[in-house]
């Protein structure tokens, strides 16, 4: 946008104030890709047997006017004496045409340029003359190689070139007039204004999509919670439904079928919300590239309308367009790869026939694997894009790859601990030792896995501290939330209590906790009262095992201990305590004497 504003402003000032470039100034030629091999001709030169051909282009817009030919030079490092390479000859003709263009833009009254055929040293030439200059400009000499290549006589070829150059001079006079310049500058300003309006419209649409995306993401999370709740209810009633169907209880069985149907509808709605979310992201991506494309087309349109900039318009359609196409393809490939990864992960994660614990476990694991796969695919595609971009500028990518390989090996030898971190991180993901959201213990460190990548594992402990552990230092891991968890509840009661009464109280508390809907979702199966596990001087050790869903063992354990304490108090159950024996030596001696 800034380039366009500057260009239009400079051109407008040039037209309205009458400023003209210096007579000796020339529009610089853009660099062309050349080969390091002297036996190969430049990019724009073609060989046809013993002749080499190069185009002569208009100094206005780079349009090809005609082609000149010269004898083939087989080695440009050793040009024969008296021979001019064909590309040098074509460039000299273009430079002479630019002198005429420069004169036309400098003159206040536009001259009429005539193209004449003359003879110089018994050779046909084309020369340019105008009504304001006494000395014509020699443009090109018509040579025998030119006539041989075009299969015409020298006179015929000279007349043909005369007509082409004369038409170009007429076009030059038209474009250099003040009225045409003002008209084209007005068109350029209209294009620039249209670009600004289109950019504002694209920005406004992106804002709307961003707001809608936030609403859909919140809705997406609500749908995830609804699916999880419906899945828990479905798993909890599967066994009841099976027994009801066997017993012939049609009403109860119908309720279970309705519950399953509701679960499937909820899951379908969840996927529809996610589909709309992905579609909105795709629209934002499309609007971004529409913004780039609109400015690219607008800049090309402005360059092709302002005469002083017209010769650069053809170059806009060359390398810049190829760069845009390369990175558009890379960006599209990144989006497709991420969509395929998400599709594969969702297919693996959402399966109504898997156990609930396994579904939750896969959800935790896929979050980490998905991030790693997306990062890897993005890195590979970006590297490919960089190599393709370097290739457009004829930079040898093979040498860069070779240097990069050597540099990578040097880094790998110098940072073996980093390589070990990456390898161990891959093994952690492949073996599914733990994932983001698990509670684990590594050595004397424990906490919630908040971040996991190929290099480090980050834990958040109960005090809120973030603990970072390199993956190479991880040898033994205790996963406290793998598929399911367990509360190992044990309590010592006094010998004065009736053991059967204590066990009955524990069973009653366990069953009551299992029956309540608030806690039923957290208990995959009823608690198991094991009985008396040990006898000691402190009392009888009672043990209960309570199986819970992952991450719920702490909340369930606290609630169960509270209820056991209240039940023991209501039934006068005494807690065990150590037995002390006091030994009195004098009393013992008196007793023995008696």
Say what the pLDDT of residue 505 is. 94
Asked if 318-414 and 485-570 have one fold, the answer is: no
Q: What is the mean pLDDT of residues 463-486?
A: 88
Say what the pLDDT of residue 245 is. 44
Say what the pLDDT of residue 588 is. 57
Q: What is the pLDDT of residues 437-457, one digit of tens each?
A: 888 999 889 998 888 887 889
Describe the strand order of the beta sheet including 485-493 as a list of residue ranges: 485-493, 539-548, 528-536
Q: What is the pLDDT of residues 578-591, one digit of tens each?
A: 876 665 666 556 66
Q: How confident is the model at residue 351 (pLDDT cuts 50, 70, 90)?
A: low
User: Domain residue spans in the chain?
Assistant: 2-16+39-176, 318-414, 416-483, 485-570
CATH architecture of 416-483: Roll (2.30)
**CA neighbor of 60 nearest in space, from 137, 175, 162, 148:** 175
Residue with tokens 């693996």: 348
The end-to-end CA distance of the chain, in Å, is: 117
Q: How far, in Å, CA of 49 to CA of 70, rounded?
A: 11
Say what the pLDDT of residue 305 is. 83
pLDDT at 41 over 80: yes
Which of 277-286, 484-493, 571-580 has the largest mean confidence?
484-493
pLDDT at 458 over 60: yes
Pick the CATH number of 485-570 from 3.30.930.10, 2.60.40.420, 3.40.50.2300, 3.30.70.100: 3.30.70.100
Say what the pLDDT of residue 311 is. 73
Q: What is the pLDDT of residues 220-260, one digit of tens each?
A: 677 666 655 665 555 555 544 444 444 444 444 444 444 44
Q: How far, in Å, CA of 101 to CA of 258, rounded?
A: 84
pLDDT at 510 over 90: yes
Q: What is the mean pLDDT of the chain?
A: 78
Say what the pLDDT of residue 70 is. 92
- 3-state class of 353 per DSSP? coil
Q: How far, in Å, CA of 529 to CA of 489, rounded?
A: 9
Pick the CATH number of 318-414 from 2.30.110, 1.10.490, 1.10.287, 3.30.420: 1.10.287
Could you tell me the sign of the dihedral formed by the alpha carbons of 243, 248, 251, 253, in that order? positive
pLDDT at 572 over 90: yes
Q: How confident is the model at residue 204 (pLDDT cuts 50, 70, 90)?
A: very high
Q: How confident is the model at residue 67 (pLDDT cuts 50, 70, 90)?
A: very high
Contact 552, 560 (CB under 8 A): no
Say what the pLDDT of residue 16 is. 40
Contact 127, 116 (CB under 8 A): yes
More confident residue, 194 or 274: 194
Beta-bridge partner residues of 451: 458
State the burial class of residue 584 (Cβ atoms within 10 Å of its Cβ: 0-12, 13-18, 19+).
exposed
- 3-state class of 513 per DSSP? helix
């Amino acid at each position: 946008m800034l380039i366009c504003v500057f260009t239009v402003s400079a051109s407008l000032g040039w037209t309205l104030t009458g400023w003209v470039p210096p007579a000796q100034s020339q529009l610089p030629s853009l660099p062309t890709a050349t080969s390091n091999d002297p036996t190969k001709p430049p990019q724009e030169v073609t060989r046809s047997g013993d002749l080499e051909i190069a185009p002569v282009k208009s100094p206005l817009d780079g349009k090809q006017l005609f082609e000149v030919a010269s004898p083939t030079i087989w080695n440009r490092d050793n040009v024969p004496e008296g021979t001019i390479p064909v590309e040098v000859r074509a460039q000299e003709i273009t430079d002479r045409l630019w002198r005429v263009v420069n004169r036309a833009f400098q003159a206040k009254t536009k001259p009429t340029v005539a193209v004449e055929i003359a003879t110089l040293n018994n050779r046909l030439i084309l020369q340019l003359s105008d009504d304001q200059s006494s000395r014509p400009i020699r443009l090109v000499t018509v040579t025998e190689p030119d006539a041989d290549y075009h299969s015409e006589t020298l006179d015929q070829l000279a007349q043909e070139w005369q007509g082409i150059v004369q038409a170009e001079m007429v076009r030059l006079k038209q474009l250099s007039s003040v009225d045409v310049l003002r008209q084209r500058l007005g068109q350029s300003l209209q294009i620039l204004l249209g670009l600004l309006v289109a950019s504002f419209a694209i920005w406004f649409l992106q804002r709307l999509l961003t707001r809608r995306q936030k609403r859909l993401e919140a809705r997406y999370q609500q749908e995830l919670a609804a699916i999880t709740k419906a899945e828990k209810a479905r798993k909890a009633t599967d066994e009841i439904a099976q027994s009801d169907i066997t017993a012939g209880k049609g009403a109860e069985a119908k309720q279970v079928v309705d519950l399953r149907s509701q679960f499937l509808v909820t899951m379908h709605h969840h996927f529809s919300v996610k589909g709309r979310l992905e579609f909105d992201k795709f629209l934002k991506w499309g609007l971004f590239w529409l913004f780039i494309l609109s400015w690219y087309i607008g800049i090309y349109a402005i360059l092709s309308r302002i005469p002083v900039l017209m010769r650069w318009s053809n170059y806009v359609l060359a390398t810049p367009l190829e760069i845009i196409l390369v990175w558009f393809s890379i960006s599209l490939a990144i989006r497709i790869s991420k969509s395929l990864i998400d599709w594969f992960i969702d297919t693996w994660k959402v399966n109504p026939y898997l156990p609930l614990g396994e579904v939750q476990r896969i959800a935790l694991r896929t979050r980490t694997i998905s991030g790693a796969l997306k990062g890897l695919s993005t890195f590979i595609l970006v590297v490919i894009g960089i190599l393709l971009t370097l290739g457009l500028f004829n930079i040898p990518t093979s040498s860069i790859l070779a240097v990069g390989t050597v540099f990578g090996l040097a880094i790998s030898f110098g940072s073996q601990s980093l390589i070990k971190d990456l390898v161990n991180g891959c093994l952690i993901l492949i073996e599914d030792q733990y994932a983001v959201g698990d509670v684990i213990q590594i050595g004397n460190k424990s906490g919630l896995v908040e971040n996991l990548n190929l290099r480090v594992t980050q834990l958040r402990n109960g005090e809120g501290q973030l603990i970072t552990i390199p993956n190479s230092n991880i040898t033994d891991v205790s996963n406290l939330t793998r598929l399911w968890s367990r509360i190992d509840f044990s309590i010592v009661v006094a010998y004065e209590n009736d053991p059967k009464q204590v066990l009955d109280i524990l069973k009653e508390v366990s069953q009551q906790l299992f029956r309540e809907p608030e806690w039923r979702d957290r208990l995959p199966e009823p608690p198991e009262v094991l009985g008396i596990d040990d006898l000691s001087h402190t009392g009888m050790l009672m043990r209960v095992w309570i199986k819970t869903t992952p991450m719920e063992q702490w909340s369930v354990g606290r609630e169960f201990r509270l209820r056991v304490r209240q039940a023991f108090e209501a039934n006068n159950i005494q807690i065990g305590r150590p037995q002390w024996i006091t030994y009195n030596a004098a009393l013992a001696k008196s007793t023995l004497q008696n």
